[in-house]
Amino acid sequence: MTKFRRLAATVLGAALFTAAGTADAQQPRTLRIAMTASDVPTTTGMPNNGFEGMRFLGYPIFEAMVLWDLSDPSKPADLRPGLAERWEQDPNDPKTWIFHLRRGVTFHDGTPVNADAVIWNYDRFFRNDSPQFEPAGSGITRARTPILESYRKIDDYTVALTTNRVASYFPYMVVYHLIASPQAWESAGRDWARVANAPAGTGPFRLSRFVPRQSAELSRNDNYWDTARRARLDRILLLPMPEANTRLAALRSGQVDWIEVPPPDAIPSLRAAGFTISTGSYPHVWPWFFQMNGDNTPFKDVRVRQGLNYCVDREGLVQLLNGTAEPSVGWLKPSDPAFGNPQNRYRLDPARGRALLAEAGFNAQRPLRFRVMISTSGSGQMLPLPMNEFLQQNLREACGVEVDFEVTDWSNLLTATRSAWNTPVVANIQSLNPSSPSSDASVMARYFLRAFQPPNGFNWPGFSDDQFEAAFSELEQARDPAAYTRAYARAHERVVDNPPWLFIVHDLNPRAMSRRVTGFVPAQSWFTDLVPVTLQ
C-alpha cells in the first residue's frame, strides 16, 4: 500500500470513527458523502476547493441575495430570489442594481439579516482595510466578480451594487456573494480561523462539527426562513476522498452513502449491485488553457491552437470514461442556442491538425513541445491523471506533439489560473488544465474578456479578440432576450474560431449512491439541492 493510500485509509477511518456515534444514533437520516476534494473546503462562508466547495460547504449553509433554481432537471439551472426577494437595474443608471432584502430572516445565531449585515460582508470581500477583511475569501469572490465597483446601503432592507460596465448578466455574479453572520465573527474574537469552527449563515443546514482535513458535519436548520424548503435529513457528513478507488471502496463497504465521480470502469458493476448511478448534461467543460502571452509559449499562433483542436481524440476519451462525458468542440455545447455557427467544427482530423502545425513551423524534425499543469483530483476534474495520460499519447500518435506534465494539487492549480503568465508559479508552464463552468455569460466574461486577465479574473491565456469584445458589449447592454442570444452566439463563435483553449470534453456529472438515498434531483448545474434528499 502506498503512503498516500495508507494516509487516505487512516483519515477515512478516523473521520468515520469520530462521527460513528452520531451517524449510528441518527440513522437512517445521516447522509455520508465522499467528495473528490483532497481536504475539507473552508467553512467560514466562502469555501475553497472550487465549486465542489460551494456545492457542499457553501450553499447548504450560506446564501446570497440571489440563488440558483435547482428544481427542474429538464433545463439548465437559472436564478431565483434568495436573501433578496427581488432586484432590478436602476432605470436611470444601468450600471447600478438595486436589491430588496427579505424581512424576518435570521442567521443561525439568531441575529437579523439586514442591509448592515450585507454591507459588512461586502466590506469583508471588497475592502482591504475593513476589520473583517478575509484575504482568502476575498480572492475567490473578487475573481468571480471582477466588475463590482461600489456598493451602498439605501435603507435597512435595500442595497445598491454598482458595476464598472453595463452588465445584463450581473445577477449571475451576485449568486456567489455568500452572506455570513457578523456576530459569529465577533463571537470568535474577530478571528476567521476560529470562525471556521462555528460560522453562521442562513441556509437550510448549519455547520455542527468541523475536523480539519477529516470531515465536516452539517445539521438541519429547523428555523430555516423558507418553511416549504426545510431539509428532510437530520445530518450530512462530508468526507474528502481525492482517490476514486478509495471513494468506490467506501461506497461498496457501506461506509458512505454517496460518492462524487465514481471510477467509470466500476459503473456497470455498481449498477448491477443495485447502486444508483446519476449522470446528466450540465454546463461544464474540461479543457486545457493555452498561454498566449510572453516569449515562452507556442500558442501566440492561432494555427497552433486550431491545429491541436483537430488532433484530439475526444470520442476515445469518452470511451475511456465509459460514457460519463461527451465531446467538447467549444465552450458551450452544440445544442446550446448560443453555440452559434463557427467556421471550425473540431473533430479528430490528424491530417488537418498536422497541416496547421506545419504552417506554424512545427513538424517531425521540429515537434511542438509544451508543458501542462494538471491536478491529481478536484471539483469537476473527473479522473485527471488517466485522462491526461490518454491525451499525451493521443497527441503524440496523432500529430507528433510532445506534452509534459507538472502535477499539482487542485487548490494550487486554481491559484495558477488567477496568476499572471510571468509569475513564478506558472513561469515554465504553457498550458493549464482546470475544469470550468459554462453556465452563463457572466462566466464567459471572467474567462474571455481582455479586461479580466489575472489578477482581475480567469482569462489566464490572455485572450484578446476585437470581434469577441464587440459582440460581448452588445450582450452586456441587451434588454431583449433574442438580441442577447444573438450577441452571445457571435461571441462564442470567436471563442471557437480563435481558440484560447483546447476543447476536450464536457463531463456528465456522474455520482453513485446507495439505493437508500431518495429525493435527489439531478439539476443541470454544478450545484446540488440537498433539501429534498433523504434516506430510506
State the Cα–Cα distance between residues 371 and 297, nearest whole angstrom.
9
The enclosing domain of 182 has a CATH number of 3.90.76.10
Assess whether 353 and 412 both reside in one domain: yes
Assess whether 420 and 499 both reside in one domain: yes
Assess whether 394 and 354 both reside in one domain: yes
Q: Is the pLDDT of residue 152 over 50?
A: yes
Q: Would you say residue 229 lies in a domain?
A: yes
State the Cα–Cα distance between residues 523 and 509, nearest whole angstrom.
10
Assess whether 119 and 209 both reside in one domain: no
Q: Is the pLDDT of residue 8 over 70?
A: no
State the Cα–Cα distance between residues 268 and 322, nearest whole angstrom.
9
Distance of CA 120 to the CA centre of its chain: 25
Question: Exposed, middle or buried: residue 20 (CB in 10 Å: 0-12, 13-18, 19+)?
Answer: exposed
Assess whether 433 and 355 both reside in one domain: yes
- Which tens digit of pLDDT belongs to each residue from 135-149? 999 999 998 999 999
Q: Which of 165, 192, 219 is the last residue of a domain?
A: 192
Q: Is the pLDDT of residue 22 over 50?
A: no
Among 73, 513, 509, residue whose Cα is nearest residue 276: 513
Assess whether 322 and 440 both reside in one domain: yes
Q: Which of 163, 192, 221 is the last residue of a domain?
A: 192
Q: Is the pLDDT of residue 462 over 90?
A: yes
Q: Would you say residue 217 lies in a domain?
A: yes
Assess whether 381 and 417 both reside in one domain: yes
What is the percentage of the chain residues whose pLDDT exceeds 90? Answer: 87
Residue 167: how many other CB atoms lie within 10 Å: 22
- The HSE-up count of residue 39 (CA atoms within 13 Å, CB side) is 13
Assess whether 183 and 252 both reside in one domain: no
Task: Band the pLDDT of 379: cuts 50, 70, 90.
Answer: confident
- Which tens digit of pLDDT belongs to each residue from 247-303? 999 999 999 999 999 999 999 999 999 999 999 988 999 999 999 998 899 999 999
Exposure string over 512-530, b if 16+ CB within 10 A, otherwise e: bbbeebeebebbbbbbbbb
β-bridge partners, 87: 99
Q: Which of 169, 192, 215 is the last residue of a domain?
A: 192
The enclosing domain of 288 has a CATH number of 3.10.105.10
Q: Do 276 and 322 form a contact (C-beta atoms < 8 A)? A: no
- Which tens digit of pLDDT belongs to each residue from 398-444? 999 999 999 999 889 999 999 999 999 999 999 999 998 999 999 99
The pLDDT assigned to 50 comes to 87
Q: Is the pLDDT of residue 2 over 60?
A: no
State the Cα–Cα distance between residues 52 and 303, nearest whole angstrom.
35
The pLDDT assigned to 378 comes to 84
Give the chain's domain count. Answer: 3
Q: Is the pLDDT of residue 46 over 80?
A: yes
Q: Would you say residue 51 lies in a domain?
A: no
Contacts of 52 (CB under 8 A, 6+ apart): 35, 36, 37, 41, 260, 378, 379, 380
State the Cα–Cα distance between residues 447 and 463, nearest whole angstrom.
9
Assess whether 23 and 121 both reside in one domain: no
Grid coordinates standing for 515? 439505493
Q: Would you say residue 330 lies in a domain?
A: yes
The pTM assigned to this predicted structure is: 0.86
Assess whether 152 and 165 both reside in one domain: yes
What is the percentage of the chain residues whose pLDDT exceeds 70? Answer: 95
Task: Band the pLDDT of 445: cuts 50, 70, 90.
Answer: very high
Task: Band the pLDDT of 26: cuts 50, 70, 90.
Answer: very low
Contacts of 373 (CB under 8 A, 6+ apart): 405, 406, 408, 413, 416, 426, 429, 431, 432, 433
Q: Is the pLDDT of residue 16 over 70?
A: no
Cell 467544427, located at residue = 345
The pLDDT assigned to 413 comes to 94
The region, left, alpha or beta by phi > 0 then psi within -120 to 50, assigned to residue 214 is alpha
How many residues does the structure list for the chain? 536
Q: Would you say residue 57 lies in a domain?
A: no
Provide the domain limits for residue 262. 1-46+203-281+510-536
Q: Would you say residue 106 lies in a domain?
A: yes
The pLDDT assigned to 456 comes to 84
Assess whether 292 and 223 both reside in one domain: no
Task: Band the pLDDT of 12: cuts 50, 70, 90.
Answer: low
Lowest mean pLDDT segment, chosen from 27-36, 180-189, 466-475: 27-36
Q: Would you say residue 198 lies in a domain?
A: no
The pLDDT assigned to 5 comes to 40
Assess whether 103 and 122 both reside in one domain: yes
- Which tens digit of pLDDT belongs to each residue from 484-493? 999 999 999 9
Q: Would you say residue 55 lies in a domain?
A: no
Among 329, 335, 334, residue whose Cα is nearest residue 348: 329
State the Cα–Cα distance between residues 127 and 133, nearest whole angstrom.
7
The pLDDT assigned to 457 comes to 84
**Apex 322 CA angle, 320 and 282, nearest 5:** 110
Cell 502545425, located at residue = 357
Cell 517531425, located at residue = 364
Q: Is the pLDDT of residue 157 over 80?
A: yes
Residue 114 vs residues 81, 98, 130, 374, 500: alpha-carbon distances, Å: 15, 14, 19, 42, 42
Among 192, 285, 267, 221, residue whose Cα is nearest residue 59: 221
The enclosing domain of 216 has a CATH number of 3.40.190.10
